[in-house]
Chain A
Amino acid sequence: MAEFSKFEILKEVEILLRSRDVANLLVNCIKKLCEKISEDVRIMSFCGTHEWSVTNYGLRSLLPKKIEIIAGPGCPVCVTPSYYIEELIKLSMDGVQIYTYGDVFRLPAVKLVRGAKSLEDAKALGGEVRVVTGLVDAIELAKNCKDSIFVGIGFETVAPGYAHAILKDLIPKNLKILSLLKLTPPAMYFTVEKIDKDEKPLSGIIAPGHVSTIVGAKAWKKVAEDFRIPIVVAGFEPVDILMAIAKILQQIISGEAKVELEYTRAVSYDGDLRAQKLLSSIFEAKEDAWRGIGFIPGSGLRINEGYRRYDAFEYFNIEELRKSEWNYDLNAGCRCSDIVLGRAKPTDCKLFMRVCNPENPYGPCMVSVEGTCSIWARFGAKEFTDDILEELKLR
């Protein structure tokens, strides 16, 4: 039996972090800070889970018009190239057991492979696909089974778990890992560098809280310094995010551009050194393809030479995606790349809710529950909710 008193403390904190009173006060404070800033404020919530909280709690409907929250590319599912999904579909139909996360299960490929456009389709057509909550589940299920692949998608957070299982040899011989892991700091640098030259640059970034538990707040220092952008590492409760926004505004007002830590209860400046070491000893960082964005140097993790026997690439002869083949990655007309980079809103895309909707996702941003388009489709854009509130005089 667990110690429930711990949950009680957590519950108390959660109640406050989701408290209407506290949020109201912070919103007032944000409004006052905004008055001191003349230009529009564009803040990127880099991480998909932040974007989820922003929408789930209706934060945009509370913030002053001047502040725009832009969703960044922080969803490891949406940025997984179609090519790998296509390869997995084939393998699943050739009798290889595939274990995958729920959102990867639904991720559509661009090409139709043997009648299937996703692992979900592949399963319906007889492919061997099973949804799991993580590698631990896959290990349990794969024991004494046939050749299996665990689709190792994720960022720095889940990567040490895979590394640990490999290092401690906890994985049955018949289960191989297809490491499609991605690293966030290179991606943030790449994104900000791209948008920096745009007409409307970013005013601040809410940095991913859970990635930071591993890489530490220090990982974002270079972006803050090179592009002079305030960055705040935040937790995922609504009050966490409001506090981070207030901190960014304060930095803008005082002309600072540094990395600040809001998520102190879980993140340190240096991160977890063992996890960082685990990653560098099991994996090697490679140039990797981000769906809708392109190849980013040093942004992908593959299992290194010493641990090849765990590597699905090796065992199943899966070839890596070549740079020359990358351009087919998005469906025609799909603006996911602009949306992922925060350059366009889902409503700017002609396909949004016409051809592309959550039941029939056309582009990757509509696939994952935390993909920007999916979130906008399901929860509605700010303008939309604002309009309803206006009509009903609910504010």
Chain B
Amino acid sequence: MCLGVPAVVVEIDEEKGYAEVDYGDGVLRKAFVGISLDRINRGDLVIVHANVVISKISLEEAEEIMKILKEIALMSDEEQKLSKN
């Protein structure tokens, strides 16, 4: 229901609660910060839905997932090796 897109916060207007974000195409676009402003800092990776910042992506959690998934991916390599042998 809600297409969320990752973007990097480049600039924040604290007073108005605007963030300028880059979705990865190098163009800055405005978005409202609908969530707690103190959660958002310059350089943060956030999720934007229809011009509204709805969440911050936790890099720790992302790295945690990466760790788990890499292990899974490795397991699949081993499984393949086993099945080939």
Which residues of A are in contact with B by a Cβ distance under 8 Å?
1-4, 6-7, 9-10, 12-13, 16-17, 19, 21-22, 24-26, 47-49, 74-76, 101, 133-137, 140, 154-155, 157-161, 163-165, 168, 170, 184, 208-211, 213-214, 236, 239, 264-267, 272-275, 278, 370
Contact across chains for A16 and B35 when beta carbons are under 8 A apart: no
Please provide the chain B residues from 38 to 84 with a CB less than 8 Å away from any CB of chain A in the complex.
39, 43-45, 47, 49-59, 61-66, 69-70, 72-73, 75-77, 79
Q: How far is the CA of A25 from the CA of B75 in the complex (A)?
A: 8
**A49 with B3: in contact, given A6-B43, A168-B16 (CB under 8 Å)?**
yes
Which residues of B are in contact with A by a Cβ distance under 8 Å?
1-4, 6, 8, 10, 16-18, 21-22, 24, 26, 29-37, 39, 43-45, 47, 49-59, 61-66, 69-70, 72-73, 75-77, 79
Q: How far is the CA of A256 from the CA of B53 in the complex (A)?
A: 34
Q: How many A-B residue pairs have CB under 8 A?
A: 185
Contact across chains for B69 and A213 when beta carbons are under 8 A apart: no
Contact across chains for B36 and A274 when beta carbons are under 8 A apart: yes
Chain A residue numbers with a CB within 8 Å of B3 are 49
Contact across chains for A214 and B6 when beta carbons are under 8 A apart: no
Contact partner, A272, options B18, B55, B73, Cβ 8 Å:
B55
Please give me the 7 A-B residue pairs with the lowest Cβ-Cβ distance, nearest first: A134-B51, A160-B34, A161-B52, A2-B22, A213-B55, A136-B51, A274-B36
Which residue from chain B places its CB closest to the CB of A135 in the assembled complex? B51
- List 18 A-B pairs, Cβ < 8 Å: A6-B44, A25-B72, A26-B72, A47-B2, A74-B1, A76-B1, A135-B52, A136-B29, A136-B31, A136-B32, A137-B51, A154-B2, A160-B34, A160-B52, A161-B32, A214-B34, A239-B69, A266-B4
**A21 with B77: in contact, given A158-B50, A160-B52, A274-B36 (CB under 8 Å)?**
yes
Contact across chains for A6 and B45 when beta carbons are under 8 A apart: yes
Interface-central residue, B3, B35, B52, B57, by most chain A CB under 10 Å: B52
Chain B residue numbers with a CB within 8 Å of A266 are 4, 47, 55-58
Contact partner, A133, options B44, B51, B77, Cβ 8 Å:
B51
Contact across chains for A9 and B63 when beta carbons are under 8 A apart: yes
Interface-central residue, B24, B47, B69, by most chain A CB under 10 Å: B69
Chain B residue numbers with a CB within 8 Å of A267 are 55
Chain B residue numbers with a CB within 8 Å of A136 are 18, 29-32, 51
Contact across chains for B4 and A210 when beta carbons are under 8 A apart: yes
Shortest CB distance A270–B (Å): 11
Shortest CB distance A341–B (Å): 15
Which residue from chain A places its CB closest to the CB of B69 in the assembled complex? A16
Contact partner, A157, options B4, B62, B70, Cβ 8 Å:
B4
Contact across chains for B66 and A214 when beta carbons are under 8 A apart: no
Give 17 new A-B contacts, CB below 8 A, not counting A9-B62, A265-B57. A9-B63, A10-B45, A16-B69, A22-B69, A25-B72, A25-B75, A75-B1, A133-B51, A135-B32, A161-B51, A168-B17, A170-B16, A184-B1, A214-B34, A239-B69, A266-B55, A275-B54
Contact partner, A16, options B45, B53, B58, B65, Cβ 8 Å:
B65
Chain B residue numbers with a CB within 8 Å of A210 are 1-2, 4, 47, 49, 54-55
**A265 with B73: in contact, given A158-B50, A211-B2 (CB under 8 Å)?**
no
Contact across chains for B76 and A214 when beta carbons are under 8 A apart: no
Contact across chains for A9 and B59 when beta carbons are under 8 A apart: yes
Which residue from chain B places its CB closest to the CB of A3 in the assembled complex? B43
Chain B residue numbers with a CB within 8 Å of A236 are 4
Contact across chains for B62 and A208 when beta carbons are under 8 A apart: no
Interface-central residue, A19, A48, A74, A164, by most chain B CB under 10 Å: A164
